[in-house]
Amino acid sequence: MASQSSKMKVQCLNPDRISSLPQDITGNILTRMPIRDAIRTSILSRKWRSGWKSMTRLVFNDKMVTVPSNRQQLKKYKLASAILDVLLMHTGSILQITIDVVELDVDSEFNQIICYLSRHNHLQKLNFWGSLEKKHCYKLPSSFFSLQGLEFLGLHNCLFRPPIIFDGFSKLSTVHFANVDITSKTLQLFLSKCPLITVLHLICDYSRDFATGNKFTFVELLQCVPLIENLVIKGPYMKHLSAGGMPHKLPTSLVQLKCLSLGMCYDEEYEVSSALCLIRSSPNLEKVVLTGYDKSDTTQISKNFPDIQDYSGFALDHLEFFCMKWFTYEDRQVDFLKLIMAKSPMLKRAQIELYESVSLEEENELVRDLLQLPFPRASLSAKLIFKRPEPEPAS
């Protein structure tokens, strides 16, 4: 009896729990691992041997291969070959893929990868991070524009030039463009051919070719995305889309828009009027983020600004969160703060993130003045929070 009891105890203590995990659990584990580690799990057991080959989400980055620092061309070739090898051995449907090559000036080496993905046409989500070099953009091959299953598209540091016969992505709902080289005319045509877009992020740290070609205004942009729920506009996009100013209110309200984030210069009349128009025309906003930036040396400060303190026409009955970044306590920044807090009865938090040049002494004075300002507040329970910029980590 003792020996049988010991045998049962050993069996209980040493079950093959890894092999007995349900397939959905193993799949979830694999998708959370770097692709190299996911492939290495094939040695765990017979069940895991081919598990990675059916992963629906793949993530590749330029740290997958290591070469001497002076052999970047070799690294680019080895990385492209490694990614292609994984794709060729993969047996299931690839629904999501991320390719992060910010340290490499990728060129035609990656065209074959995009071509392979387009032939299988199951891809729903694509994130491509190209080189961070300002002078180098990865030109998307023509095969990219045949990825008709795409629902999510994130492009970073890429050259976007669709072929003439491109009819858009009929299923696309989310677009993230960061430092994408695209003309205003091309962007307008692209958005007009993607009728289901609900999330649009246009971010640029430096000027590309957006100003070339036909002018493209905020009014025309919003006509291209009638279902928009989440809109982010920053950098030169804001400047060029605001050119000529905006009407007091849009002809058609943006009833679907819930989240709005704008990077703007408070000394630019047209950018201020555009921000006011967008907020005034979006009655169901739940979140607003305004990021200020300094005017360029060539900017002419206009004296014909719209009255930010004019509260007429504003109905922010659903706004819960408001954030102002790079806050320096300029009059127009304070006016925006007063406007939002006066017209947002459901506001829970107003967050002020100070610009890095604001000293501790200036911060104390700023906080004291804002807390004592006699302006109407629709929500008596709204918290006013001040944050300083986080220090950069030591190298």
pLDDT tier for residue 351 given thresholds of 50, 70 and 90: very high
- Report the percent of the chain where pLDDT is more than 70: 76
Are residues 73 and 155 part of one domain?
yes
pLDDT tens per residue, range 220-249:
999 999 999 999 999 889 988 988 778 888
* Burial classification of residue 363, based on how many CB atoms lie within 10 Å of its CB (0-12 exposed, 13-18 middle, 19 or more buried): middle
Shared-domain flag, residues 122 and 94: yes
pLDDT value, residue 131: 77
Best mean pLDDT range from 117-121, 139-143, 295-299, 310-314 = 139-143
Collapsing DSSP to helix, strand or coil, 263 comes out as: strand
Same domain, 89 and 30: no
Question: Is pLDDT of 287 > 50?
Answer: yes
Task: Indicate whether 298 belongs to any domain.
Answer: no
- Does residue 74 lie within any of the structural domains? yes
Beta strands in 130-216 (DSSP E): 138-139, 152-156, 158-159, 174-178, 199-203
Residues 74 and 48 in one domain: no
Mean pLDDT rounded to a whole number for the chain: 81
- pLDDT, average across residues 329-348: 88
Residue 145 maps to a domain: no
Looking at 35, 55, 75, the residue that finishes a domain is: 55
Give domain status of residue 361, yes or no: no
Asked if the structure places residue 106 within a domain, the reply is yes
Q: Would 64 be classed as within a structural domain?
A: yes
pLDDT of residue 26: 56
pTM of the model: 0.84
Question: Measured at the alpha carbon of residue 178, what is the angle toward residues 174 and 182, in degrees to the nearest 5?
Answer: 90
Q: What is the pLDDT of residues 157-211, one digit of tens each?
A: 999 999 999 999 999 999 999 999 898 899 999 999 999 999 999 998 765 656 6
Q: Could you tell me the residue range of the domain that residue 117 belongs to?
A: 59-140+150-159
The encoded tokens of residue 261 equal 């984030």
Question: Are 93 and 78 in the same domain?
Answer: yes
Same domain flag for 42 and 82: no
Q: Is residue 375 in a domain? A: no
Q: How does strand 138-139 pair with strand 158-159?
A: parallel
pLDDT, average across residues 344-351: 94
Contacts of 191 (CB under 8 A, 6+ apart): 175, 197, 200, 221, 224, 225
Domain count, the chain: 2
Confidence of residue 22 (pLDDT cuts 50, 70, 90): low
- Is there a single domain that holds both residue 30 and residue 121? no
C-alpha dihedral sign at 78, 81, 83, 86: negative
The reply to whether 32 and 51 lie within a common domain is yes
Q: Are residues 50 and 124 in the same domain?
A: no
Are residues 74 and 109 located together in one domain of the fold? yes
**What's residue 307's pLDDT?**
63
**Could you tell me which of 171, 220, 217, 233 has the C-alpha nearest to residue 198?**
171
Residue 168 placed within a domain: no
78 and 42 belong to one structural domain: no
pLDDT of residue 52: 61
Identify whether residues 76 and 154 lie together within a single domain: yes
Q: What percent of the chain has pLDDT over 90?
A: 32
Burial 57-90 (b: 16+ CB within 10 A, else e): bbbbbbebbeeeeeeeeebbebbbeebbebbeeb
